Structure 1
Amino acid sequence: MKILYVAAEVSPLVKVGGLADVAGSLPQAIQRLGHDIRVVMPGYGRIDRDKYGIQPLVGPFRIPFQKGEEEITISHTKMNGGVPLYLVENQKFFGRENVYGYEDDGLRFALFGLAVIRMLEKIDFQPEVINCNDWHLALIVNLVNKLPEEEQAYQRVATVFTIHNLAYQGIFDPSVVSSVGLDESDLLELEKEREGKINFMARGISFSDVVSTVSEEYAKEIQSKEYGAGLEELLADKRDRLFGILNGVDYQVFNPQTDPHIALNYDLHSLDNKGANKKALQRECGFEAGTDIPLMGMISRLTDQKGLDILVEAIKAVLELGVQFVVLGTGDFRYQDLLTHLAKEFPHNMKAFIKFDAALAQRIYAGCDMFVMPSRFEPCGLGQLISMAYGTIPIVRRTGGLADTVKDFDPRTGTGTGFVFQNYNAMHLLVAIVRALEHFRDEGTWRSLMERAMSCDFSWDSSAHKYEEIYKLAIELRKKGH
């Protein structure tokens, strides 16, 4: 198959969140299955052109936009593994330092979507299927279905729309769609009900041949009022072509046996070496160093979605149990301030790193005994998968991808890979932590738990096969005109 994979961020060129990790890894796994897959993203100003060998390919050429024209250039390079990567360059809209967060984000990604369509007229590659990710790329799906009849070639292209987080939908004034030649009065029923605002996410779901999301449980959850963010009925209508496919882990990057950022490498057969990483992290945090002292970690955006509200409610009780706790992340200022204050109040067993630091993150994965993810909702989650690879036991809420990947420890059968709680409140989180601490004191039980966690395989290869199947389905549905 010929596949065009479109994302707003791609690791390692630009990373804001987990989408970049997916876009950097999944195409390589699909290429290994023998398919011709290419990736396209905006050419942001922050990308180091020299470092990644980016060269001009096509252009400049002009495309109609708003009531005038915009000049577009296409650059290219190759990703790790040799997957071709195209960058859509436009200084005015993409030559900025940040990826998101501008008032004209709707216009920026509308222009990007139209430019991707027009790029295909200029390069020697005609995809059979386009996989668009999250609201930023939804207008591509819309455009493929609404192009004039003389452009029939595009209407034969199948589309897959992948939802990474339904909470972010891209809601804008209708003039955004008219900027790329779509009729701003041609609103979805849902948009008519909501004061005439267009909804990128809703359009991606409505117009795509197949919809996917990043775990099986999340695919079920988003069809309910609790998790559907107002789009539950639209998703339920698509249930026969809505699929949950777990994200994978790039074990070339997240591997304690080869990780260059940790104090001492180890694997399933040299778990005693993990203790050296724990002591190194304890010293880095200013804690007493000792392998018998339970050390918990959290690496997260500091938001309600990630469970920070119930964590801060429970944290003092956790610290009073003699636990050392380290958190790394940025987010809502109130949580940044709260965690900083707690670290000052409990300097001997609480440390808050309010920043983004990839190397420190890997030291936390390697050094901690337990990894806390009490998310309110979690489409897939990557932290729990990485922590298990490092033999660090996850404590998670049963939701979305966390429910699919972490199996609750059962001392009667000796099965499970972590500690799972159901109800979203501080007390149930605290109970799960207490359960984990009880078993941590039993060295044999804990060793077995670590070995089971490290034996889990969440590589991209399994997920790539499932994407291959939904691409085939999308092509088949498009040919049939469904």
Structure 2
Amino acid sequence: MEGKRILYVTTEMTPYFPENPMSSQALDLPKVMQSNGADVRIFMPRFGAINERRHQLHEVIRLSGMNMIVNDLDQPLIIKVASVPGERLQVYFIDNEEYFKRKDVYDTDGVLCSDNDERAIFFAKGVLETVKKLNWKPDVVHVMGWMSSLVPTYLKEYYSDDPFFQDAKVVVSLFDNGFEGELDNQLVEKLSFDKVEGNIKQYIEKPTHLGMIQASLEYADAVAKGEEVIPQDVKKYIESKNIPLLDFCEKEQSKEVYNTFYMEEVMNSN
């Protein structure tokens, strides 16, 4: 991937989150691909649980100041950035007081946050608009975590006529980090406000975890297993899709395995 640009969009990443398969891979994979000569950028939500002072986050004034319209409401976009300790990597954080200031990440006392659907919309639009403002055109957009699952949809539908993202390939990593219940059942209507409809409507009329993953896979050029065990219903759905699937590999093999995967499977996909 020498000279290629890879945009990583994740909802969790160490050291900003406790270590788990997703948060670890969200750090390890950009590191190894950077060592392979790729130009990488990492984006994640600035959840209130992240300690800004400890991790030395600071606002990027030249990137902040845009408004994202979510369900007909203007929401200010704030961009923050931090350097990963001991690494030549920077992480961009999508922030907004309404959606991400609270300490709760996905739920409150086991009950899903009622605006998780709008948080996912804001996150997807915020990432892609910021990348455009950076004038950094990605070759690959690699998403991790269900709150990132609308990124492929917005990339392929909302920006379908935008030459900036025209050649970008989408990779979705899968993890066993589902949620019980459903997001707001008005999600389809909220996406329709952005003229984002297409084939994903059938999956998110009742936006369960599986439905959100199916929506992300609808526009994926390739899929990767982020851990050995993924939910059975997700596994069955993948088997019905005719897209390349990378099996789980250990960290020690990821440098060679993912470089080959990106170059031979992802970049050459139709």
TM range (shorter): 0.7 to 0.9
TM-score norm. by structure 2 comes to 0.83
Partner of 2:102: 96
| RMSD after superposition | 2.5
Q: Once the 2 structures are TM-superposed, how far is the Cα of residue 74 of structure 1 from its aligned partner?
A: 1.1
Matched residues, number: 254
Trace 1:311-326 onto structure 2 (pairs within 5 A).
Answer: none
Q: Once the 2 structures are TM-superposed, how far is the Cα of residue 4 of structure 1 from its aligned partner?
A: 0.8
Q: Once the 2 structures are TM-superposed, how far is the Cα of residue 8 of structure 1 from its aligned partner?
A: 0.7
1:22 aligns with 2:25: yes
Q: Once the 2 structures are TM-superposed, how far is the Cα of residue 189 of structure 1 from its aligned partner?
A: 7.9
Q: Once the 2 structures are TM-superposed, how far is the Cα of residue 141 of structure 1 from its aligned partner?
A: 0.7
Q: Residue 110 of structure 1 contacts residue 176 of structure 1 at CA under 8 Å; is this kept in 2?
A: no
Q: Once the 2 structures are TM-superposed, how far is the Cα of residue 143 of structure 1 from its aligned partner?
A: 1.1
Trace 1:90-129 onto structure 2 (pairs within 5 A).
Answer: 90-101=96-107, 102-129=113-140
Task: State the distance in 1 between where 2:181 and 2:8 align.
Answer: 20
Identical columns (%): 19
Q: With CA pairs under 8 Å and 6+ residues apart, which has the higher RCO, 1 or 2?
A: 2
Distance 1:247 1:141, change over 3 A: farther
Rg larger for: 1
Q: Residue 135 of structure 1 contacts residue 168 of structure 1 at CA under 8 Å; is this kept in 2?
A: no
Distance 1:42 1:185, change over 3 A: closer
Counterpart selection for 1:212 from 219, 224, 238: 224
1:205-253 Cα distance to aligned partner (Å, 9 max, x none): 12100011135x64xxx6xxxx532x455311335511113242xxxxx
Amino acid in the other structure paired with 2:119: R
Q: Residue 43 of structure 1 contacts residue 89 of structure 1 at CA under 8 Å; is this kept in 2?
A: yes
1:235-277 Cα distance to aligned partner (Å, 9 max, x none): 11335511113242xxxxxxxxxxxxxxxxxxxxxxxxxxxxx
Distance 1:148 1:162, change over 3 A: closer
1:402-442 Cα distance to aligned partner (Å, 9 max, x none): xxxxxxxxxxxxxxxxxxxxxxxxxxxxxxxxxxxxxxxxx
1:259-311 Cα distance to aligned partner (Å, 9 max, x none): xxxxxxxxxxxxxxxxxxxxxxxxxxxxxxxxxxxxxxxxxxxxxxxxxxxxx
Q: Once the 2 structures are TM-superposed, how far is the Cα of residue 9 of structure 1 from its aligned partner?
A: 1.2
Partner of 1:404: none
Counterpart selection for 1:84 from 81, 90, 97: 90
Q: Residue 4 of structure 1 contacts residue 130 of structure 1 at CA under 8 Å; is this kept in 2?
A: yes
1:383-419 Cα distance to aligned partner (Å, 9 max, x none): xxxxxxxxxxxxxxxxxxxxxxxxxxxxxxxxxxxxx
Deviates most, 17-26 or 133-142: 17-26
Task: State the distance in 1 between where 2:178 and 2:247 align.
Answer: 17
Counterpart selection for 2:268 from 470, 473, 476: 476
Distance 1:69 1:237, change over 3 A: same
Q: Could you tell me which runs of 5 or more consecutive residues in structure 1 were left unpaired when the two chains were aligned.
A: 249-458
Q: Could you tell me which runs of 5 or more consecutive residues in structure 2 were left unpaired when the two chains were aligned.
A: 108-112
Counterpart selection for 1:67 from 72, 76, 82: 72
Distance 1:87 1:247, change over 3 A: farther
Task: State the distance in 2 between where 1:169 and 1:7 align.
Answer: 20
TM-score norm. by structure 1 comes to 0.49
